[in-house]
Chains A and B, each alone.
Chain A
Amino acid sequence: MIKFNKYRSSKNLPPVSTASLPDIVFILLFFFMTVTVMKNQNLLVENTLPTATETEKLNKKDRVIEIFVGKPTNSSNANLGDEPRIQMDNKFITVDEVGDYALQALSSMPQHLRSVATVSIKADVGVKMGIIEDLKSELRMVNLLKINYTTYEGAAVNNL
């Protein structure tokens, strides 16, 4: 007991070395640098995706054409109302324009990827099937037949 007290009262505890702090921070930094994907689209529509279990990954970004569907967000467009809208290339487009914009996106892809191009439909949970069907028939019109209903991972019964 006496010995213990003596030990506690000693004033010169060595300080914790912070020399390895930069290394730790660098490791974290490299982790985030490698997983970072810079956002290239500003979302103009609400976009909470439905959930599904049998998903396949879309990990090759260079062959994906993204189409967002959803209600316009309040902050950006107060005067657009509540009807779901389609967003491509950072702006709202109508259903009839989908084909044109999709072809434009397709033509900016390298030649060898055009045949495997996939259209990723990112539709909000609040969207009705009507607009999706219109979108699909427009895509069929321009012969873009591979589509992907992009979802979150999770039990599908959550949707119901």
Chain B
Amino acid sequence: MKNHRNPQEVNAGSMADIAFLLLIFFLVTTTIENDAGLNRSMPPNITDNSVDIKERNLFEISINDADLIMAEGDIIDPKNLREKVITFIDNGGLPLEAEGYCNYCKGNRFADSSENPDKAIISIKAQRNSSYPVYVAVQNEVIAAYNDLRDRESLKLYNTPYKTIYSDYYDEEISEDKKKVLKERLEIIRALYPQKILEPETVNN
């Protein structure tokens, strides 16, 4: 006679406890990484690369030991820095018939400010005793100024903000063909407003 017994069932009641233990372990070890920052590339270490820059094309920002910010000879409020940088880059001061005339610039076209965005150079100088967060804030404002201008051109040309094109380009889920288009667009916009930021070495005095 066949012994008709049900196979014994494994008790799953402790499953929740095991899962809880694992969960707590991962909760404790988790550090959600927040790594993001301002990317900059430094010039290569060659000493004899002096280039003549016209004074009108250079926008000097210096930070002193007391963390005061000076731009173009005046102490300024950091809140106004971005606007000043934008007016400088976007000046487009060359006359209409000259080579390199900036036809997309919307600036004041002053004769004593930058000739065109390609020529415009921002220099950020810090003293050894300036604090790092202020320096980062200045860098941030300058990059923001470039991004604002690139946004404007990007919206005009492609009807999408620069940030969107940029983040889409680095999105993994976008097809190769689309990436090619995005890359082209990025390059065009970057050529309109190339980022030219100088970081001269600090002299200790």
Q: Residues of A with Cβ closer than 8 Å to B?
A: 18, 21-22, 25-26, 28-29, 32-33, 35-39, 50-59, 64, 118, 120-121, 123-130, 132-133, 136-137, 139-141, 143, 145-153, 156-157, 159-160
User: Can you identify 7 A-B contacts, CB atoms within 8 angstroms?
Assistant: A39-B29, A120-B35, A129-B126, A129-B128, A139-B42, A140-B43, A160-B133
Provide the bound-state CA to CA distance between A25 and B43, in Å.
52
Provide the bound-state CA to CA distance between A33 and B79, in Å.
42
Provide the bound-state CA to CA distance between A91 and B159, in Å.
50
Provide the bound-state CA to CA distance between A55 and B15, in Å.
43
Q: Give the chain B neighbours of A145 by CB distance below 8 A.
A: 41-44
Quick check: B201 and A137 within 8 Å, CB to CB?
Answer: yes
Write the nearest CB–CB distance from B63 to chain A, whole angstroms. 8
| A54/B132 contact (C-beta < 8 A), A32-B23, A133-B202, A149-B37 known | no
Quick check: A56 and B36 within 8 Å, CB to CB?
Answer: yes
Please classify the interface of chain B as helix (H, G, I), strand (E, B), loop, or mixed, using the class held by over half of its residues.
mixed
Contact with A along B1-34 (1 / 0, CB 8 A): 0000000000010011001101100110111111
Which residue on A lies nearest to B12, using beta carbons? Answer: A22
Among A21, A145, A159, max chain B CB count under 10 A is at: A159
Which residue on A lies nearest to B202, using beta carbons? Answer: A133
Quick check: B23 and A159 within 8 Å, CB to CB?
Answer: no
Partner of A159, one of B38, B137, B204: B137
Quick check: B136 and A159 within 8 Å, CB to CB?
Answer: yes
Quick check: A56 and B41 within 8 Å, CB to CB?
Answer: no
Partner of A129, one of B20, B43, B202: B202
Among B31, B34, B39, max chain A CB count under 10 A is at: B39
Quick check: A157 and B79 within 8 Å, CB to CB?
Answer: yes
Quick check: B129 and A130 within 8 Å, CB to CB?
Answer: yes
Write the nearest CB–CB distance from B163 to chain A, whole angstroms. 9
Q: Give the chain A neighbours of B43 by CB distance below 8 A.
A: 140, 145
Write the nearest CB–CB distance from A122 to chain B, whole angstroms. 8
Partner of B30, one of A35, A141, A153: A35
Quick check: B41 and A130 within 8 Å, CB to CB?
Answer: no
Q: Quick one: which of B60-107 are within 8 Å of A by CB?
A: 63, 67, 78-79
Provide the bound-state CA to CA distance between A150 and B140, in Å.
12
Q: Give the chain A neighbours of B123 by CB distance below 8 A.
A: none
Please classify the interface of chain A as helix (H, G, I), strand (E, B), loop, or mixed, using the class held by over half of its residues.
mixed
Which residue on A lies nearest to B69, using beta carbons? Answer: A160
Quick check: A50 and B137 within 8 Å, CB to CB?
Answer: yes
Quick check: B132 and A125 within 8 Å, CB to CB?
Answer: yes
- Among B51-59, B109-117, B141-149, B174-182, which stretch is in contact with chain A? B141-149
Partner of A33, one of B26, B37, B128: B26
| A118/B127 contact (C-beta < 8 A), A37-B31, A52-B137, A137-B201 known | no
Tell whether B49 is near chain A: CB-to-CB under 8 Å: no
Q: Give the chain B neighbours of A55 by CB distance below 8 A.
A: 36-38
Write the nearest CB–CB distance from A135 to chain B, whole angstroms. 11
Quick check: B41 and A146 within 8 Å, CB to CB?
Answer: yes
Write the nearest CB–CB distance from A38 to chain B, whole angstroms. 6
Quick check: A152 and B34 within 8 Å, CB to CB?
Answer: yes
Among B35, B63, B140, max chain A CB count under 10 A is at: B35
Q: Give the chain A neighbours of B27 by CB distance below 8 A.
A: 32
Tell whether B45 is near chain A: CB-to-CB under 8 Å: yes
